[in-house]
A and B are shown apart, each in its own frame.
Chain A
Amino acid sequence: MISAQYRGVWTLFKKEVWRFWRVAFQTLASPVLTALLYLLIFSHVLEDRVQVYEDVPYTAFLIPGLMMMSMLQNAFANTSSSLIQSKVMGNLVFILLTPLSYLQLFIAFLGASIIRGLAVGLAIFLVSVWFVHLPIANLAWILVFALFGCALLGTFGVIAGIWAEKFDQMAAFQNFVIMPLTFLSGVFYSIHSLPGFWQTVSKFNPFFYMIDGFRYGFFGKSDVSPWLSLVVVMAFLVLLTWVTLKMLKSGYKLRG
């Protein structure tokens, strides 16, 4: 039984989870299908030509990256689309009228986006292990990067959702920020295979660290130390959380 004090935040969390679960075909099945199509095409084309790590077939190498990419995109999509939709529809007022604090609001939205990210990641894992053998070198690292990666992008989604006023602004955010960062993060390759300049560029991309650290959990091998990746991810998470809470507390774009 939940006490009245926590019921508000619990209810909002539950509602946000239901919201994507109701349209699971679009929010879960569709990203899983997309990831599997990538897997099919890239592994078919590159399996015999690319070997990133010794003893790791390219298809297996690809799976953690695709999982992480999908988790990040969906965690972002959950908070950002929920906020922008309720802003455009006007029903965000139902939440703004309640005694929920800005911190509770953040926790509920973020919690639901983490659930969606993890659900997508798990689904891709469960489907792909039917086809490919995937080792698990260290489960703890897998879970840590999954959790904090989703949290980071869920938080980023809150910022985008508060900032954007129209759907096309949100689409621009998706297409010009999220997509390039995910694709240029080493999902499909090891950055060691890149020319020096692009290796350096990649190291400024936080997505690279999330994917590299996550992959370490499966293969025990990575481009940089998982500890370094963890530090980078945590630093970004702390920074974005701080920005988000500032925005929510000030009522920026939400309470005029």
Chain B
Amino acid sequence: MVTPAVSIESIQKQFGKLNALKGIDLTIEQGEFFGLLGPNGAGKSTLINLMAGLLKPTHGQIKVMGHDVQKDYQQSRQNLGVVPQELVFDPFFNVREMLRFQAGYFGRGPENDAWVDEVIESLGLADKANTNMRRLSGGMKRRALIAQALAHKPPVIVLDEPTAGVDVELRQMLWDFIKRLNRDGHTIILTTHYLEEAETLCGRVAMMKAGEIVALDTTENMLRQFAGKNLCLKLKGSLPASLLPMLKHGENNLFTLGLNELGQVEYALSELRKAHVDVEDMQLIEADLEDVFLSIVGKGSSA
């Protein structure tokens, strides 16, 4: 059996009285592109910080590439690259210096410089490589932060909201680069609040809520099982009461109905006919991860 990239066993984490993680079990295989989703405060970053050894678990065990993050922390950290959520930087140095230092902490020497340059190039940092970190724009700082996590070319890469506050161009660049690393065998773990990103990138996702994993499946299965399709209607008049159970959201005369199977379109239309409500416009839309997210994590919470 191949060693999992990350294995998490009954992890609990308490901050004082707050139960931030209430027993997480999760195995992420090598080579996966894995999404960790959940509303603010769900515990995603806490879980990542536990993997990185920045926090100590109250209970449970985490292994990265088979190495316990507490007992064999040197090996486990050697295998892990983490992009922290907070935009932090060292104001004393420029981008290239920082990256070389970062690789150096992991024991990488001049033989690694070519890789550092590749990271700089691939994240569009080339013309900022000799700029002091302090003088970078917010988005550029974010790129440097991502680059720092990659400097030692870790097999397991964890990105905690890497696209917060970055422009379209970088997102494109970043995902091209990360997808390439994934194809080369690196395991990617991603948290993001942009669900369309997770949908296109992640092969498997876990949804977290209040310190628990509430759903865990391949992205494909999630989309199929939970969401079905959406029927968007523009009506002259209001929605008949018989269709209210299917209503996902509605405003003015625009209504979105969730469908579990296509046959329900026929039912909806016949109910409208019965109620003498005219249909001005109608559209059938594939459900996306956002629908799944809302149906699992609950309406009213945003991703």
Contacts and interface: CB of A to CB of B under 8 A. Distances in A.
A101 B106 CA distance: 11
Interface stretch (A8-16, A43-51, A125-133): A8-16
Nearest to B88: A90
Interface residues of B, number: 31
B241 interface: no
Which among B75, B80, B101, B107 has the greatest number of chain A C-beta atoms within 10 A? Answer: B107
Nearest to B132: A22
Contact of A89 (B74, B78, B88, B106): B88
A213 B56 CA distance: 44
Interface string A188-222: 00000000000000000000000000000000000
A119 B146 CA distance: 36
Contacts of A93: 54, 84, 88
Interface of A: prevailing SS? helix
Interface string B54-69: 1110000000000000
A4 interface: yes
A8 B56 contact: no
Interface string B99-119: 001101111110000000000
Contact of A97 (B15, B52, B90, B91): B52
Contact of B53 (A7, A10, A12, A255): A255
B62 to A, nearest CB: 14
Q: Which of A19, A94, A255 has the most CB of B within 10 A?
A: A94
Nearest to A23: B92
A256 B15 CA distance: 9
Contacts of B53: 96-97, 255
Interface in A1-37: 2, 4-5, 7-8, 10-12, 14-15, 18-19, 22-23
Contacts of B73: 99
A89 B89 contact: yes
A7 B77 contact: no
Contacts of A225: none
A2 B100 CA distance: 15
Contacts of B106: 8, 98-99
B92 A98 contact: no
A210 B84 CA distance: 43
Contact of A99 (B15, B74, B90, B101): B74
B256 interface: no
Given A96-B54, A99-B74, A255-B54, A11 B92 contact: no
B105 A89 contact: no
A100 B89 CA distance: 19
Given A91-B88, A94-B102, A5 B74 contact: no
A97 B149 CA distance: 9
Nearest to B98: A94
A95 interface: yes
A246 to B, nearest CB: 16
A4 B54 contact: no
Contacts of B102: 94, 98
B82 interface: yes
Nearest to B102: A94
A86 interface: yes
A180 interface: no
B84 to A, nearest CB: 6
A89 B74 CA distance: 25
A82 B53 CA distance: 22
A251 interface: yes
Interface string A66-90: 0000000000000000000010011
A88 B205 CA distance: 34
B56 A4 contact: no
B192 interface: no
B148 interface: yes
Contact of B104 (A11, A22, A86): A11
Given A11-B101, A255-B53, 9 more contacts: A4-B109, A8-B104, A15-B93, A19-B92, A94-B105, A98-B106, A99-B73, A100-B105, A256-B55
Top 7 closest A-B pairs, CB basis? A11-B104, A90-B88, A4-B107, A98-B105, A99-B74, A99-B77, A91-B90
